[in-house]
Amino acid sequence: MKKIQLYTLIMLSFLFVQCNETDEKESSPVASNATYKVTFEFNWNNQDFPIDYPSNAHFSKLIGWSHASTNSFFLIETMASEGIKDMAELGATATLENEINEKINNGDGLDFVIGENLNGGVGEITVDILVNKENSSVTLATMIAPSPDWYVGVVHINLFENGEFIDEKIVDGLIYDAGTDSGTSFASNNAETNPKQPISLITNLPLGNGITIATVKFSKQ
């Protein structure tokens, strides 16, 4: 009888521990925010992109923010803001920074980031960016320089999937036309597009040749 009682006690203790562990797992809250290291690996070289490749190829400061997935800023088929225009045509970031920070201050975004420029067509730019459940998408862009109004970007990359922040995501940086300058090559003179056209993906030469110009890695810290 004592052996049966001891066995029963052991089993009850085991079940109690298991239930506690299960309860702890089920009640563990999902983190409300996460920080990601974002690495842009650029590969704009004259072998893969030989047509009119400029002698002074480079990229402007990487700029962007975290925001809700429902936000339309930077989406294709929308009109470029003055800040996007300045970034895409001149590599200037002051106006775009003001636009993004105004959105964040109005509760329409979470974290603004600006990174370094790249003095060449090949190399890396890295930034850290904060996201939360409500603002789990990231948009980052940098001017392809020189160019009329072309830029490389990752637009609306969602980092919260299936109820949790993902550990890692790797995507291609895509090539965009801001729709504000009608030049056709890197060294084209300023040719303001009138009327402005919506933001679009570039699929034509000299850049749209099917080769990836940048690979972007998001790593949760």
Q: Which residue has the tokens 């940098």?
A: 142
* Phi, psi angle pair for 4, to nearest 5°: -65, -45
Average pLDDT of the segment spanning 3-13? 48
Res. 14 pLDDT band, cuts 50 70 90? very low
- Choice between 10 and 159, residue whose per-residue pLDDT is larger: 159
- Contact of 143 with 91, CB cutoff 8 Å: yes
Q: Do 109 and 13 share a domain, yes or no? A: no
Q: Do 7 and 76 share a domain, yes or no? A: no
Spatial neighbors of 11 by CB under 8 A, at least 6 apart, are none
Q: Do 20 and 122 share a domain, yes or no? A: no
Q: Do 100 and 22 share a domain, yes or no? A: no
- Region class of 2: left (phi > 0), else alpha (psi between -120 and 50), else beta: alpha
The three-state secondary structure class of 8 is: helix
- CA nearest to 214, candidates 138, 136, 126: 126
- Rg of the chain taking only CA atoms, in angstroms: 24
- Residue 181, pLDDT > 80, answer yes
Q: Which residue has the tokens 């300058």?
A: 181
Res. 10 pLDDT band, cuts 50 70 90? very low
Q: Do 24 and 41 share a domain, yes or no? A: no
pLDDT at site 29? 65
Q: Do 98 and 14 share a domain, yes or no? A: no
Q: Do 20 and 73 share a domain, yes or no? A: no
CA gap 68, 189 in Å, rounded? 37
Residue range of the domain that includes 3: 1-30
Q: Do 165 and 107 share a domain, yes or no? A: yes
Res. 30 pLDDT band, cuts 50 70 90? low
- Residue 1, pLDDT > 70, answer no
Q: Do 26 and 54 share a domain, yes or no? A: no
User: What does the block give as tokens for 156?
Assistant: 């609306």
Q: Do 63 and 138 share a domain, yes or no? A: yes
CA gap 166, 163 in Å, rounded? 9
The three-state secondary structure class of 67 is: strand
CATH code of the domain in which 190 resides: 2.60.40.2130
Structural domain tally of the chain?
A: 2
Res. 218 pLDDT band, cuts 50 70 90? very high
Q: What percent of the chain has pLDDT over 70?
A: 86
DSSP 39: E
Q: How confident is the prediction for the chain on average, in pLDDT?
A: 91
Q: Do 8 and 116 share a domain, yes or no? A: no
CA gap 82, 92 in Å, rounded? 11
- The H or E element that residue 1 is part of is none
pLDDT in tens, 31-84: 899 999 999 999 999 999 999 999 999 999 999 999 999 999 999 999 999 999
Q: Do 70 and 135 share a domain, yes or no? A: yes
pLDDT at site 31? 84
The Cβ of residue 128 has, within 10 Å, a number of other Cβ atoms equal to 13
Average pLDDT of the segment spanning 137-151? 98
Q: Where are the beta strands (DSSP E) in 85-193?
A: 112-114, 122-132, 137-145, 150-158, 160-161, 164-165, 168-177
pLDDT at site 27? 46
pLDDT at site 24? 45
- Residue 116, pLDDT > 80, answer yes
